[in-house]
């Protein structure tokens, strides 16, 4: 089997939406999450053998994980909508993997699944942190609660499956594949629950995640990448669906949420061509490719495409044609910024990118003009820490601190120091967004 990579935190919101969504306190909630990653408990590992298949916890609007256990497998509904949505979603997801793919939990060995809801105050995200699934309630202005669309839960659970199988590195084309495979099985679950075949599905990911006032059908459209939303505040969906439009960028871990539209479209085409229920047709092919040992952690689109064709049997021509229609071939990978050396003087820019929606939020201030010794001290301490080479978990955020005249300091959410967390919180919450 392919060697596994270390845990990669996976969040649901991509960078270009944070650029637009600047509700009160949003930055603070996200900074707190990053700072607390290192102290996160490991409930899934602590469940005794023979315990419940899943347990939902309530963080009580805090950022302390896992929170209080409120419902486990076999127990009745609680009346808390988010708790019960998470319970129904994980039961359906586990059943799909077991019944259609013969897989027991995310590790294939029946690992108990830990879930946490009501994370943070109006937190706009959902993620897999290497141990558990975590869901925010949304800000109530742009986003609904993240347990509402069941495919969000299946998406995050699939990140855990990917981590336990091919271990696709969350950067560049392998990172876009990581995001795409998570969307693939999210769509399969949604269609399975609706009793639909591939040709009947709407292929929307995250339908219902936006408030009704937002002009959006969903967060992503696998059948037509780049068309899921077009809103005066959020802008237009920037995802691409063909290699001719492949985006080379250092943001969003090399555009993992942008370029995932390419393999997403390939799967949708393959699923319709193969026919039947997506999970039993193209879904089975994609799964066999993922677990078959022929997909390295650094796989590009062409490598993964070849693995799916090899796993497709009588449907090989249909799968090959699906990839050809999105122009998949050898592609270059985005590069990670060079390690920086910082001094706390001049203009300081803070950027937060990634997350489930792949959005980017920025703000800046001139440190020399700030009459706040505490903030200057935070800047000094935060910028003294070098960039971290570890990749973020899928769908978790990355923070970049850029001081005028110096290279940026880039830190995955789970590795933020306390100073970096507080500095980002204060600057982003200030609302001084860069034009």
Tell me the CATH number for domain 10-164.
3.10.170.10
Of the candidate ranges 125-129, 158-162, 362-366, the one whose mean pLDDT is the lowest: 362-366
Q: Buried (b) or exposed (e) across 91-107, using 16+ Cβ within 10 A?
A: ebbbebbeebbebebbe
Average pLDDT of every residue of the chain: 85
Give Cα separations from 274 to 270, 321, 323 (angstroms): 6, 11, 13
Closest to 20 (Cα-Cα) out of 206, 214, 177? 214
Q: Please state whether beta strands 54-58 and 68-72 pair in parallel, antiparallel, or not at all (unpaired).
A: antiparallel
pLDDT tens digits, 161-205: 999 999 999 999 999 999 999 999 999 999 999 999 999 999 999
Q: What is the pLDDT of residue 360?
A: 86
Residue 49 pLDDT > 90: no
More confidently predicted of 156 and 357: 156
Cβ 229 vs Cβ 210: under 8 Å: yes
Q: What is the pLDDT of residue 16?
A: 60
The single-letter DSSP state of residue 338 is P
Q: What is the pLDDT of residue 370?
A: 76
Residue 415 pLDDT > 50: yes
Q: What is the pLDDT of residue 413?
A: 84
Q: Report helix, strand or coil for 231.
A: strand
Q: Buried (b) or exposed (e) across 241-254, using 16+ Cβ within 10 A?
A: bbbebbbebbbbbb
Give the C-alpha separation, 334 to 24, whole Å.
33
Give Cα separations from 112 to 94, 121, 136, 145 (angstroms): 11, 27, 21, 24
Q: What is the pLDDT of residue 7?
A: 52
Query: What residues does each domain of the chain span?
Result: 10-164, 172-325, 347-429
pLDDT tens digits, 241-263: 999 999 999 888 999 999 999 99
Of the candidate ranges 24-33, 44-53, 148-157, the one whose mean pLDDT is the lowest: 24-33
pTM for this predicted structure: 0.77
Residue 55 pLDDT > 90: yes
The single-letter DSSP state of residue 250 is S
Q: 345 burial class (0-12, 13-18, 19+ CB within 10 angstroms)?
A: middle
Residue 41 pLDDT > 60: no
Q: What is the pLDDT of residue 428?
A: 85
Q: How large a percentage of the chain has pLDDT more than 70?
A: 83
Residue 129 pLDDT > 60: yes
Give me the active site residues, please.
156, 257
DSSP string, 92-159: HHHHHHHHHH---STTSS---EEEEEEETTT---EEE-SSEEEEE---SSSB--TTSSHHHHHHHHHH
Residue 102 pLDDT > 90: yes
Residue 305 pLDDT > 60: yes
Q: How large a percentage of the chain has pLDDT more than 90?
A: 62
Give the C-alpha separation, 276 to 272, whole Å.
8
Give Cβ neighbours of residue 415 (< 8 Å, ≥ 6 apart). Answer: 34, 37, 38, 388, 390
Q: Which overall architecture, per CATH, does domain 172-325 show?
A: Orthogonal Bundle (1.10)
């Amino acid at each position: 089997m392919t060697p596994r990579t270390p845990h990669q935190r996976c969040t649901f919101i991509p960078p270009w939406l944070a650029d637009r969504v600047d509700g009160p306190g949003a930055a603070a909630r996200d900074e707190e999450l990053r700072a607390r990653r290192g102290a996160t408990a490991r409930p899934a590992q602590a469940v005794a053998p023979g315990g419940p298949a899943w347990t939902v916890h309530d963080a009580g609007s805090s950022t302390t994980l896992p929170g209080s256990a409120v419902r486990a497998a076999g127990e009745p509904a609680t009346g808390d909508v988010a708790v019960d949505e998470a319970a129904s979603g994980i039961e359906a997801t586990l059943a799909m993997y077991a019944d259609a793919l013969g897989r027991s939990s995310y590790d294939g060995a029946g690992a108990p699944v830990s879930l946490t809801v009501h994370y943070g105050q109006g937190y706009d995200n959902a993620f897999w942190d290497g141990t558990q699934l975590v869901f925010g309630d949304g800000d109530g202005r742009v986003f609904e609660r993240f347990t509402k669309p069941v495919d969000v839960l299946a998406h995050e659970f699939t990140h855990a499956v990917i981590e336990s199988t091919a271990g696709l590195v969350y950067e560049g084309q392998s990172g876009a594949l990581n995001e795409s495979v998570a969307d693939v099985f999210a769509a399969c679950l949604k269609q399975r629950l609706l009793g639909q075949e591939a040709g009947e599905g709407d292929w929307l990911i995250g339908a219902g995640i936006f408030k009704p006032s937002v002009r959006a059908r969903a967060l992503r459209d696998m059948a037509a990448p780049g068309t899921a939303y077009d809103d005066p505040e959020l802008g237009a969906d920037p995802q691409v669906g063909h290699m001719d439009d492949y985006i080379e960028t250092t943001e969003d871990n090399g555009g993992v949420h942008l370029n995932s539209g390419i393999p997403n479209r390939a799967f949708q085409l393959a699923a319709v061509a193969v026919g039947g229920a997506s999970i039993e047709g193209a879904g089975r092919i994609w799964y066999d490719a993922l677990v078959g040992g022929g997909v390295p952690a650094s796989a590009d689109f062409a490598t993964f495409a070849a693995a799916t064709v090899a796993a497709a049997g009588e449907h090989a021509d249909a799968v090959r044609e699906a990839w050809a229609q999105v122009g998949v071939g050898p592609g270059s990978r985005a590069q990670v910024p060079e390690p920086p050396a910082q001094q706390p003087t001049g203009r300081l820019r803070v950027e937060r990118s990634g997350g489930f929606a792949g959005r980017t939020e920025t703000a800046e201030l001139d440190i020399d003009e700030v009459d706040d010794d505490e903030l200057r001290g935070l800047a000094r301490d935060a910028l003294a820490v070098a960039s971290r080479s570890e990749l973020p978990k899928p769908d978790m955020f990355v923070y970049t601190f850029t001081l005028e005249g110096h290279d940026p300091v880039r830190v995955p959410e789970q590795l933020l120091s306390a100073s970096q967390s507080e500095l980002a919180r204060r600057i982003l919450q200030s609302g001084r967004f860069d034009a």
